Amino acid sequence: MLQIAQIEELERAMREEHQRDLEALSRLKRFLPANGKAPVTESPVVKLPLIPSPPKPLPLPESTMAVEKSMRARVAEIMARDQSTKWSAQAMVAHLLEHGHTLAAKKPVPGIQLIMVHWVKRGKLDLLRKGTGRTPNLYRWRSGATLDADGEGEV
């Protein structure tokens, strides 16, 4: 994100470039009558005042706005809800989309797979079947693993 000083510097540079363009245009207009193609008209160069505009303040988040859960927390919450269900990354993506969750990635399956690997390393998921080729890995929420208030698991 640009800082206020950077924006002011950009504005100053753009105004200077605009001023040079106007001066070049006036020089061009002076030479046109020499070709006999246009009448002689002298237009004064308009100089713009350099008045910096005050920066617009960023809107502050409202305290009533709901805090968006992380994707890790959403996956853990879904899997912990029904600990007997077997999940693959593809099935989890389909479930998330079906229930209106937004997925920013073009191909979300690898990201969900990494989240599931994360939970396996933390001891929250069991790897039921190691996938090969087109067969995906299958996971299940480990019995006894619980979630904290922020969605992070605890054994």
CA 148 to chain CA centroid, Å, is 27
Residues β-bridged to residue 62: none
Residue 98 sits at φ, ψ, to 5 deg, of: -65, -30
Q: How confident is the model at residue 146 (pLDDT cuts 50, 70, 90)?
A: confident
| CA 8 from centroid of its chain's CA atoms | 25
CATH architecture of 71-154: Orthogonal Bundle (1.10)
pLDDT above 50: residue 154: no
Q: Considering the entire predicted model, what is its pTM? A: 0.53
pLDDT (tens digit per residue) in 11-62: 999 999 999 999 988 888 877 766 555 555 566 666 666 667 677 776 666 5
Given CA atoms 18, 19, 20, 23 in this order, what sign does their dihedral have?
positive
The full 3-state SS of 127-143, as one line of letters, equals EEECCCCCCCCEEEECC
